[in-house]
Amino acid sequence: MKTAKGIATIAVMAATLSGGKLAMSVLPNIEPVTILIALYATVFGFAYVLPATVVFIVLEVLIYGFNTWVVSYFIYWPLVALTFAFVNKKPKGVWPNVTTAVLLTLFFGVLTSLVDVGLFMGAFDNFWQRFGVMYARGIPFFATHVVSNFALFLLCYKPLCKALTKTKKQFLD
């Protein structure tokens, strides 16, 4: 991975994560980042996807500025990379990936609500009540996020994994 090809691969991964998210930003909570990180973790492994994920997060901060979501991103996206690298050590088909994506996406809603209440509201009085209100307010967005990732993984994961594996063999192996 210390080769020029390896570094360039990480850069392309980070660029597609950032560009894909930006391209889809007109649709609220429909994003290609989860499936791309899952694909990169599956095909290239954790050593490639983790640096690409960190570069993506830093690019997001440079584009959008700093807020509580940055804390969530530094927790969530590396966790997504690690989880999919682990789940796909021995690929088992599309359903374990769909299930993992849905569970991680549900966790994202909980994580962002916890971080927002803990950092944004700055008070721990009535923490769980505040969390409940914050989470409830985001349910329509979380539902859209879960449904879109379910559909993306169900329909696109297997063919994209095949295509990316072929591309990797052609250019890196």
Return d(Cα 131, Cα 110) in angstroms, integer. 9
Q: What's the token pair of residue 125?
A: 């009085």
Q: What is the structure's pLDDT at 13?
A: 98
The pTM assigned to this predicted structure is 0.93
Per-residue confidence band for 126, with pLDDT thresholds at 50, 70 and 90: confident
| pLDDT tens track for 21-80 | 999 999 988 999 999 999 999 999 999 999 999 999 999 999 999 988 999 999 999 999
pLDDT of 1 over the 70 cut: no
Q: What is the structure's pLDDT at 129?
A: 87
Residues 6+ apart with CB under 8 A from 8: none
Per-residue confidence band for 122, with pLDDT thresholds at 50, 70 and 90: low
Q: What is the structure's pLDDT at 119?
A: 77
Return d(Cα 73, Cα 12) in angstroms, integer. 20
φ/ψ of 86, rounded to 5, equals -70, -45
Helix axes 68-87, 94-115, angle to 10 degrees: 160
Summary mean pLDDT of the chain: 93
- As a whole number of Å, the CA-based R_g of the chain is 17
Return d(Cα 30, Cα 25) in angstroms, integer. 7
Q: What's the token pair of residue 76?
A: 């969530």
pLDDT of 92 over the 90 cut: no
Return d(Cα 17, Cα 78) in angstroms, integer. 13
What domains sit in the chain, N to C, each tagged with a CATH number? 4-171 (1.10.1760.20)
Q: What is the structure's pLDDT at 123?
A: 64
